[in-house]
Amino acid sequence: MEQYEPDRLSPAQVAAMRRSFRNGRAALTRRSLLRASAGGALAVGGLGALTACGIPAAGRTEGGTSAEDRSATEKTVNFSNWTEYIDVDDSGKSHPTLDQFRRRTGIAVKYTEDINDNNEFFGKIKPQLAAGQATGRDLIVLTDWLAARLIRLGWVQKLDPSHLPHAYSNLSAQFRDPDWDPGRAYSYVWQGISTVIAFNRKALDGVEVKSVSDLLDKPELKGRVGFLSEMRDSIGMTLLDMGKDPRKFTDDDYDAAVARIQKAVDKGQIRRFTGNDYTSDLTKGDIAACVAWGGDIVQLQADSPDVDYIIPDSGYMTSTDNLLIPNKARHKTNAERLIDFYYEPEPAAELAAYVNYVSPVDGVRPYLTKIDKGAADNPLILPDKAMAAKSHAFRALSAEEETAYEAKFAKLTGA
The pLDDT of residue 255:
98
- Rounded Cα gap, residues 149 and 157, in angstroms: 13
DSSP 402-415: HHHHHHHHHHHHT-
- The CATH code belonging to domain 66-192+320-381 is 3.40.190.10
pLDDT at 2 > cutoff 70: no
Among 51-55, 171-175, 300-304, 333-337, the range with the most confident prediction by mean pLDDT is: 333-337
Angle at 375 between CA 372 and CA 380, to 5 degrees: 170
The phi, psi pair for 110, rounded to 5°, reads -85, 100
Q: What is the pLDDT of residues 177-200, one digit of tens each?
A: 999 999 999 999 999 999 999 999
Q: Is the pLDDT of residue 360 over 90?
A: yes
For the cut 60, the answer to whether the pLDDT of residue 369 exceeds it is yes
Predicted pLDDT at 345: 98
Note the pLDDT of residue 63: 60
pLDDT at 16 over 70: no
| More confident site: 330 or 20 | 330
55-69, 152-166, 289-303: segment of lowest average pLDDT: 55-69
Task: Give yes or no for residue 332 having a pLDDT over 80.
Answer: yes
* Mean pLDDT confidence for 162-168: 98
Q: How distant, in Å, are the alpha carbons of 182, 237, 245 from that of 316?
A: 21, 6, 11
Is-contact 138 330, C-beta < 8 A? yes
Instruction: Report the distance separating Cα 218 and Cα 380, nearest Å.
Output: 26
pLDDT of residue 84: 87
Q: Provide mean pLDDT across the span 151-177.
A: 96
CA distance 129 to 121: 12
Q: What is the pLDDT of residues 221-276, one digit of tens each?
A: 999 999 998 899 999 999 999 999 999 999 999 999 999 999 999 999 999 998 87
**Residue 332 main-chain phi, psi, to 5 deg:** -60, -45
Q: How confident is the model at residue 50 (pLDDT cuts 50, 70, 90)?
A: very low
Higher pLDDT, 62 or 226: 226
Pairing of strands 225-228, 391-392: unpaired
How far apart CA 360 and CA 394 sit, in angstroms, is 17
pLDDT higher than threshold 50 for residue 120? yes
For the chain, the straight-line distance linking the first and the last C-alpha, in angstroms and rounded, comes to 24
pLDDT at residue number 152? 92
Q: For position 33, what pLDDT does the model report?
A: 31
Average pLDDT over residues 55-80: 73
Fold of 193-319+395-413: D-Maltodextrin-Binding Protein; domain 2 (3.40.190)
Percent of residues, the chain, with pLDDT higher than 90: 76
- Residue of 369, 347, 226, 362 lying closest to 285 (CA atoms): 226
Average pLDDT, the chain: 86
| Residue 40 reports pLDDT greater than 80 | no
Average pLDDT (281-292) is 96
- Per the CB < 8 A criterion, the answer to whether 300 and 307 are in contact is yes
395 — pLDDT class (breaks 50, 70, 90): very high
C-alpha 208, offset from chain centre: 30
Q: Measure Cα distances from 333 to 61, 86, 172, 327 in Å.
A: 22, 21, 23, 13
| CB neighbours of residue 95 within 10 Å | 20
Helix, strand and coil content of the chain, in percent to the nearest 5, comes to 45, 15, 40
What are the DSSP calls for 126-169, one per residue?
HHHHHTT---S-SEEEEEHHHHHHHHHHT-BPPP-GGG-HHHHH
Q: Would you place residue 163 in the very low, low, confident or very high pLDDT band (cuts 50, 70, 90)?
A: very high
Determine the angle formed by the axes of helices 38-52 and 11-23, rounding to 10 degrees: 170
Is 60 a residue whose pLDDT tops 70? Answer: no
Q: CATH 3.40.190.10 residue ranges in the chain?
A: 66-192+320-381, 193-319+395-413
Q: What is the predicted pLDDT for the residue at 8? A: 53
Query: Exposure string (b/e) for 232-255, b if CB count within 10 Å is 16 or more?
Result: bbbbbbbbbbeebebeebeeebbe
